[in-house]
Structure 1
Amino acid sequence: MNEEKPPFKIGISSIGAHLRDPLTNKKITEQERIKQLVDMAIQAEAAGLDIYALGESHQEGFVSAAHTVILGAIAQATQRITLMSSVTVISTLDPVRVFEDFTTLDLLSNGRTEIVVGRGSRVGGFSLLGYSAHDYEELFDEKIDLLTTINHASGAQQAVNWQGKFRPPLINARIYPQPQNGKLQIWHAVGGHSSSAIAAAKRGLPMMLTTLAGESLNFKPVIDVFRQTAEVAGHQAPDLPITTTSWFHTAQTDEQAVEEFYPYFNGMMNELRSDSVPKEFLRRSLAVDNAMMIGSPATIIEKLKYQYRLYKQQQFLAHVDTGALPEPLVRNNIDVLANIIAPEIRSFVVSEPT
């Protein structure tokens, strides 16, 4: 008999990109784009999804520099859905202020808030916010240490005493307001490097693993080393769940999904990275063992089943927009994920051996 498992959670994510439509050469206003991000969360909750995650970026082509403000608006417009950052670039922020912002958001959302902290894949915010990218690793290690120290002290109702290199020490400091349940859930974002997974496990933090493209099997060693390190460090597996994230676009057929998504995916790569990808890249991603969630609902269901057998993760986030993908296509992605794909995957997970 299988052990009773917690429900498999499925949600959507966005990095808050704000790009030009490559087919019309038009770009909506920043205000319209922010409203889209809020509306996506409202639709996701109404459709029955579990999570909405929004990332942070501080450069041209994005509207999510103040992602906590957007999440605050969403908190007031929703009742049930979990609100996550994906990611909060802790390296360039003051962890005291991050904790204050997210505990406030937690109270606004009635305890629905979780933080995902990461180094950031874009370094545009470093100089803007007064830091050097030369301190990339050191900044992250120190800032995440302080944030987790504050969180543990909050849960234990203790003052914070801490000293580091990049900010003045904290001496008998108490940080307010307090989260609804004493502590916040803090996730460690991992981009595919085993060293980051090991660090997450040693810190006792659950892992959000980005699996944007390539064979799903390529990410299995990262998951394995995370769980092995956590076990050696004395952390129980149920306390350190894993979330995977991937690009997502669906249509009635595989070919339609590729044809619809390609101009916007390639346009995003051109605008943000001055790069280009061939359409064949997306056609190859239709394979069941490819991590990119592109295709018909049936194809994506088989891809998610394949991934779950490999990873035994607890959550999946679908990256459903590119920053220019037309709103009807984004809404269809959310609708199909919630009403066709999610029920099938939740049922499948329950039936799979632990």
Structure 2
Amino acid sequence: MEIGIDSFAAVPANKSISNAQAINELVERIELADQVGLDIFGIGEHHRKEFLDSATPLILAAAASRTKRIILTSAVTVLSAADPVRVFQNFATLDLISNGRAEMVVGRGSFIEAFPLFGFNLNDYDALFAEKLDLLLQIQQNETVNWSGQFRAPLKDQAIYPRPMQEKLPIWLGVGGTPASFVRAGELGLPLMVAVIGGETHRFRPLIDGYKKAGAEAGHDPKQLKVGLHSLGYVAESKDQAVADYYPGYAEMFTKIGKERGFPPVTKERFDAQNGTLGALLVGDPVEVAEKILRHSESLGGITRFTFQMDAGLTHEKLMKAIELIGSKVSPIVKAGS
């Protein structure tokens, strides 16, 4: 199983730290993740004041120049509000800079700011994504493209460059809990990245089974139907320390998001339940967290990738220590047991 980190490049909670410093510290964390043997680092895409990841490929390119082996990916690219040609060109260029280490996870996004920002109608939410995914996959497969659709000017015998170093630039489909999204990924034969930020992780098993069934019925090789899991988590030397570090920022962030979406404020009782045996949160000591990853994998029928999302107001120093622990203690246990 591949183990890695996803980051949304959160603006520092400490206002004395500039955004420039925060971005450079993020690149330091990616460099450390590479050094301690983690397999992948992903950067999200948001267009909000709280995050610095609106230009994901630029952050990844900076990291590419300072790393050697770690896979660099988006987490996720909001394809519905982007031009698939430019998305492909950006990540193909990243692939060249990194000597073949680029990937992307594409999705519709969980926030809506990108739609008015780039002139799209939120009512076209799914239609935009379906059409743009179709174009992106055609570009992935073909150097010269003939294509037409509803939301973009047609392409006729149009060559698209640069081409990546890899024979085929890996594209994963990022999903939440919509059954149709799982089926779509299976029908297309795309690897699946499942974001689980709450509830009990095992409840996604029927959706993953539906993904694999759709892929098999479409004639895809089961080996290409990979499943990754993206979850909120954090590792410290002890569980008490991990919870003490992580909970305050988590509560603040999700209370704010919940207020926007009509959800109740976060409570410690609810957090503890989510951090229990079956809950989606993975906040604890290295052994406990590693064992929980393996349990989640078993409950989902086997996963091939797991990424931690640790943005919760934590300091750079605490995040660096967590990355060290994940690389030196969590990852070896998971790889031995998977």
Shared fold (TM-score greater than 0.5)? yes
The question of whether the paired residues in 2 share the 8 Å contact of 1:95 and 1:144 is answered with yes
Secondary structure at 1:210 match in 2: strand
Per the alignment, residue 223 of structure 1 pairs with 208
- Match of 2:198? 213
- 1:272 shift after superposition: 4.2
- 1:63-112 superposed Cα distances (whole Å, 9 cap, x missing partner): 11111111110111111100010000011111011111110110000000
Cα 1:20–1:174 change in 2 (3 A) is: same
Distance 1:257 1:281, change over 3 A: farther
Q: C-alpha separation between the residues in 1 aligned to 2:255 and 2:199?
A: 20
1:175 matched to which residue of 2?
A: 160
> 1:285·1:294 contact (CA, 8 Å) conserved in 2?
no
Mapped pair 1:309 → 2:302: no
Partners of 1:84 and 1:115 within 8 A in 2: yes
Q: CA deviation at 1:337?
A: 0.8
Residue 204 of structure 1 and its aligned partner are, at CA, apart by 1.4
Distance 1:259 1:181, change over 3 A: closer
Q: Which amino acid aligns with 2:299?
A: L
2: distance between equivalents of 1:199 and 1:206?
Answer: 11
- Could you tell me which residue of structure 2 aligns to residue 5 of structure 1? none
Alpha-carbon separation, structure 1, partners of 2:219 and 2:114: 36
Which residue identity does 2:246 align to in structure 1? F
Query: What secondary structure does 1:113 align onto?
Result: coil
* Structure 1 residue 237 corresponds to structure 2 residue 222: yes
Q: Between 334-343 and 284-293, report the one with greater CA deviation.
A: 284-293
Distance 1:230 1:270 in 2: 38
How far off is 1:335 after superposition? 1.0
Instruction: Report the equivalent of 1:202.
Output: 187
The residue type paired with residue 9 of structure 1 is: E
Residue type at the aligned position of 2:324? D
Partner letter of residue 7 of structure 2? S
Whichever residue aligns with residue 114 of structure 1, its letter is E
User: What is the TM-score with the length of structure 2 in the denominator?
Assistant: 0.95
> Do 1:19 and 1:271's aligned partners in 2 also have CA atoms closer than 8 Å?
no
Q: Deviation per CA, 1:14-71: give whole Å up to 9, x if none.
A: 12221535xxxx3522111211221111010011100000011112111111111111
RMSD between aligned alpha carbons? 1.4
Moved more, 259-268 or 26-35: 26-35
Distance (Å, rounded) in 2 between the aligned partners of 1:327 and 1:152: 40
Gaps of 5+ in 2: none
TM-score (norm 1): 0.91
CA contact (8 A) 2:287 2:333 kept: no
> Of the candidates 68, 75, 79, which is equivalent to residue 90 of structure 1?
79
Matched to 1:99, the amino acid is F
Corresponding letter in the other structure for 2:156:
I
Contact 1:188 1:207 in 2 (8 A): yes
Question: Contact between 1:247 and 1:292, CA under 8 Å: does it hold in 2?
Answer: yes
Unpaired runs of at least 5, structure 1: 1-7, 350-354
Q: Quick check: 1:14 aligned with 2:7?
A: yes
Confirm or deny: 8 A CA contact 1:254 1:286 kept in the other structure: no
Q: Match for 2:200: what amino acid?
A: E
Range with bigger deviation, 240-249 or 28-37: 28-37
> Structure 1 vs Structure 2: percent identity of aligned residues?
37
Q: Give the CA deviation at 1:250.
A: 2.0
Moved more, 300-309 or 101-110: 300-309
